[in-house]
Structure 1
Amino acid sequence: MSREEHAVRRARSGFRSGRSRPLEHRRQQLEALLRFISERRSDIADSARRDLGKSQNGVELFEVVVLEVEIKLAVEKLAEWAAPRPVEKTLLTLSDEIYVQPEPLGVVLIIGAWNYPWAVTLLPLVGAIAAGNAAVVKPSEVSCHSARVMEELLPLYLDQDLYPVVTGGMSETQELLKQRFDHIFFTGGSAVGRVVMEAAARHLTPVTLELGGKSPAYIDKNCNVAVACRRIAWGKFVNCGQTCIAPDYILCEASIQDRVLEELRRSIKDFYTDDPKTCEDYGRIINRRHFNRILALMGGGTVAVGGEADESQCYIAPTVLKDVSGDSDVMKEEIFGPLLPVVSVAGVDEAIRFVNEREKPLVIYVFSNDGKLIRRVKAETSSGSLLANDCLIHFSIPALPFGGVGNSGMGCYRGRHTFDRLSHLRGCLIRRLQMEAVNSLRYPPHTTGKVSWTRRFLLLQVKQGGLRRAALLVAMLSLAAFVTQRFLRRG
């Protein structure tokens, strides 16, 4: 038996024991995960620095804080999320219990990504634990130092049977995908996403695919261009551009292109100094393979800002490209690096067409003071999310579902959305062996009168909390029983 199969069997056995289901156990495990993050801050920061050149404060801001918020929210809301959820009744179900009961799916496989190795791996785990599942955690082998710390230290805090960590590369992942899971949660690129989905289909396993794509940022010529460019530069060059929701390219009219380029140059200097290579807050490309891939894309336009590179450090400066056409190489794939192409369009009409001619992005950014223009972009495009006048911050809001559509992914998570995604929402109806006269409406012989009365009863909805209306409907139900018994037998 392989190590991967053993881990899955161990998690399955732990889940079947029932240990993961009680709310108190879920709460204890979530609090243990919070202790792990608190007590192992230095290990987490050091591993992210070695993998991606991240500063300690950068790790705190973009990985640790978001995890702390997610865990504390899950602990606070756990009882509410897990409670039965009442639904509207019809007159025929007025005296019944009718509700939706969230229940655990079983064993979840979580395949993390390397760009934010802690946040994107452990955020789904928070939801898996809160929903009462077992989970096999597979961190990305590309961020090898973070994966090693996760493998060594996470089992010291969490139930090792219910939440095993499996490390390794492609062969280990392929072995895991041969196993049967109750849900697979994958964060990464669309090519691997297709492999994951194909493997899941063999077991009819549902999937959540958090992918990526080319997320555009449209700048309206009448907005505050300086502020727009400052926010775009921040969103683009955080983590050296290795962010799935980073603005991938800018669309703007030619009349403001020079100003856009100048404001981007100014913002980059403000954020990362004249020499980003020496700036603590500017990281590195994950490895040389990605370094060379990104460098090859730089030929898709004219370098307007930056362009410096050092292979020995996997360093590429924050770079802005102009004279970029829609069919250049840099526009054919997600950049996932510190290159920002600026594409000229005639206006919002052409910008919308440009976006719609391509795969649906993970997010669309639009910068404008015109609410009508923003609403138009929202109405005439499709994307996982839409954010006006800022970048990235929608991911920090657990109340918003985060996820893609089409080529940018399927399914969503964050906060309660993760809990629901990793739960089976079981419909429950608890009836009594009474009021049998009303039930005769559905029993043969089926008459015109029975159909007519059934239609009336089913169309009457009873909202929760409507006591006066409910009392009235109780009386109507009694009348219905009388009518059914006395008259409908005649047909």
Structure 2
Amino acid sequence: MYESLFNRQKQFYQSERTRSLPFRIESLKQLKRAIRYYEDALLKAMKTDLNKGETEGYLTEIGYVYNDLNLSMRHLKKWAETEKVKTPVSHIGSTSKIHKEPYGVTLIISPWNYPFNLAIGPLIGAISAGNTAILKPSEHTPAISRVISDIISLAFPEKYVASVEGGIETNQSLLNLPFNYIFYTGSSHIGKIVMEKAAQHLTPVTLELGGKSPAIVTKNANVKLAAKRIVWGKFINAGQTCVAPDFVYAHASIKQELIRHMKYYTEKFYEEPFRNGGYMRIVSEKHFERVKDLIQGDVVHGGHADPSTLSIEPTIIDNVDFGHDAMQEEIFGPVLPVLEFDSLDKAILDVRDLPDPLALYVFTGNKAEAGNVIQSVPFGGGAVNDTVFHLVNPHLPFGGRGNSGMGRYHGKYSFDTFTHEKSILNQTTCFDFPFRYPDAKLFGKMIRYIWR
């Protein structure tokens, strides 16, 4: 179905125009100009699809993309330079270099929770590295996807970058094509399908998935500040954030104090927007029903849900254990379970028993405790005494491991992800060491001695 588009992009890539550094930089400028032109339309579309306000829309989506574009344009020349590396003594007379080479025709499949940011962010990396790209925005946010397609059409010819809208059938058709690289953001379930399809063509992939990201709060934490930052990270975007704290694991001695502060900040930040219809809604009726059904047990704050607007009040549930329904899968909504532990070592073992999360947050004033958690638990990335904010630093690689994904991006790491590093040894012809040849017995003994 999309074979013709794929072939046109393949031909354009083979023309080598996308490899030109001035062409790439100008393409990034074109993308930025097109986003600016459609900025108001984007914010309106975010309101239509997700009831996302302008301030949050700019903070979490558009502003982040501008920052990434500016960083890439400023540093692309340096990133793309051929890199000279050391050569061992056994290779005297030669030089060693790493050439930065684009993969070719790339596919980017983006999700609905941050439908603009998580579509354009990887695209910036693909363009910076010199690839062509087919972008598949989410069908669950149709207004935003329409504006994304308008932006791409304004900025680029289809033979270079194209946006393709559609549902599951579109994804399936695209995944049948022999792309040179695939970048997918979404659920672990679909991630497995993407990887299986990619394997048929031996196509390398980046999978940005999710998981049950814990916020561990020890007895040595600044409890009030921990509550404030956990509440913000959890309930922004109506909890539909892949690195949101999925549950709180608090020391028994401070748990009730933590809950008291979390209730205070939840009311302060979100009560009025929810009552006035300004809080973000759940993306679909299916997801609304799934999240709503997790509100059970000892609800200490919130719990209200409005099916007419698909909005769920920020909710905190106390006295939860690992058998609770909310602990069986990633919540991806504004419901926050709170568990308690008596021993940090036991808490670490409990978290390690779960699939590797995309993020982990530890709140403590004790550096040894923080170091113990970071070293002992496998996870994608995270923060000490904060939540989510590590995502905004373009100098930190972002990505998961195991069940939460593979690969990394953001800033230079986006360029690296869409770049193949081609290793080249340039050997001298002025002389030739005989030790590597079969008849060089003496030299063979010498090199064995040197390499021991």
5 Å matches for 1:285-300?
285-299=282-296
Other-structure match for 1:452: 446
Counterpart selection for 1:431 from 427, 441, 449: 427
Q: Aligned in 2, Cα 1:274/1:166: closer, same or farther, shift over 3 Å?
A: closer
Other-structure match for 2:123: 125
Q: Deviations over 1:107-150 (max 9, x none)?
A: 11000010000100110000000000001000010111111111
| Post-superposition offset of 1:199 | 0.3
Please identify the structure whose Cα radius of gyration is greater: 1
1:361 aligns with 2:348: no
Amino acid at match of 1:322: D
CA distance in 2, matches of 1:223, 1:198: 43
1:148 aligns with 2:152: no
CA distance in 2, matches of 1:386, 1:393: 8
Other-structure match for 1:172: 170
Other-structure match for 1:230: 228
CA distance in 2, matches of 1:331, 1:444: 63
Other-structure match for 2:338: 342
Counterpart selection for 1:404 from 393, 400, 403: 400
5 Å matches for 1:256-271?
256-271=254-269
Q: Aligned in 2, Cα 1:289/1:149: closer, same or farther, shift over 3 Å?
A: same
Other-structure match for 2:86: 88
How well do the aligned residues superpose, as a CA RMSD in angstroms? 1.4
Amino acid at match of 2:47: R
CA distance in 1, matches of 2:400, 2:392: 16
| Post-superposition offset of 1:454 | 6.2
1:6 aligns with 2:4: yes
CA distance in 1, matches of 2:325, 2:311: 21
| Post-superposition offset of 1:221 | 1.6
Q: Aligned in 2, Cα 1:260/1:279: closer, same or farther, shift over 3 Å?
A: farther
1:272/1:279 contact within 8 Å kept: no
Other-structure match for 1:479: none
Other-structure match for 2:200: 202
CA distance in 1, matches of 2:78, 2:158: 27
Query: Which segment drifts farther, 74-83 or 366-375?
Result: 74-83
1:252/1:347 contact within 8 Å kept: no
Q: Deviations over 1:177-211 (max 9, x none)?
A: 01010110000000000000000000000110000
1:443 aligns with 2:404: no
Counterpart selection for 1:307 from 278, 290, 303: 303
Other-structure match for 2:23: 25
Q: Aligned in 2, Cα 1:188/1:450: closer, same or farther, shift over 3 Å?
A: same
CA distance in 1, matches of 2:74, 2:95: 27
CA distance in 2, matches of 1:187, 1:451: 53
| Post-superposition offset of 1:159 | 3.2
CA distance in 2, matches of 1:391, 1:26: 34
Amino acid at match of 2:43: A
Other-structure match for 1:77: 75
1:321/1:339 contact within 8 Å kept: yes
| Post-superposition offset of 1:82 | 0.7
| Post-superposition offset of 1:160 | 2.4
Amino acid at match of 1:232: I
5+ unaligned residues in a row in structure 1: which ranges? 460-491
5 Å matches for 1:107-118?
107-118=105-116
2:38/2:147 contact within 8 Å kept: no
TM superposition score normalised by structure 2: 0.97
CA distance in 1, matches of 2:440, 2:203: 41
Amino acid at match of 1:291: F
Identity of matched residues, %: 37
CA distance in 2, matches of 1:153, 1:418: 21
5 Å matches for 1:244-263?
244-263=242-261
CA distance in 2, matches of 1:129, 1:40: 20
Query: Which segment drifts farther, 239-248 or 5-14?
Result: 5-14
CA distance in 2, matches of 1:204, 1:225: 49
Other-structure match for 2:409: 413
**Counterpart secondary structure, 1:304:** strand
Q: Deviations over 1:217-237 (max 9, x none)?
A: 011122210100000000000
Other-structure match for 1:189: 187
Q: Deviations over 1:297-352 (max 9, x none)?
A: 112x3111000110000010000011211011110100000000001111311210
CA distance in 1, matches of 2:411, 2:149: 25
1:105/1:133 contact within 8 Å kept: yes
* Number of equivalenced pairs: 452
CA distance in 2, matches of 1:386, 1:239: 18
Amino acid at match of 1:350: K
1:422 aligns with 2:423: no
Other-structure match for 1:462: none
CA distance in 2, matches of 1:108, 1:161: 12
CA distance in 2, matches of 1:86, 1:279: 57
Other-structure match for 1:489: none
Query: Which segment drifts farther, 403-412 or 267-276?
Result: 267-276
1:44 aligns with 2:42: yes
Q: Deviations over 1:339-387 (max 9, x none)?
A: 0000111131121011011100001100000000000001111100131
**Counterpart secondary structure, 1:413:** coil
1:384/1:404 contact within 8 Å kept: yes
2:31/2:151 contact within 8 Å kept: no
**Counterpart secondary structure, 1:250:** strand
CA distance in 2, matches of 1:198, 1:455: 47
CA distance in 1, matches of 2:298, 2:159: 54
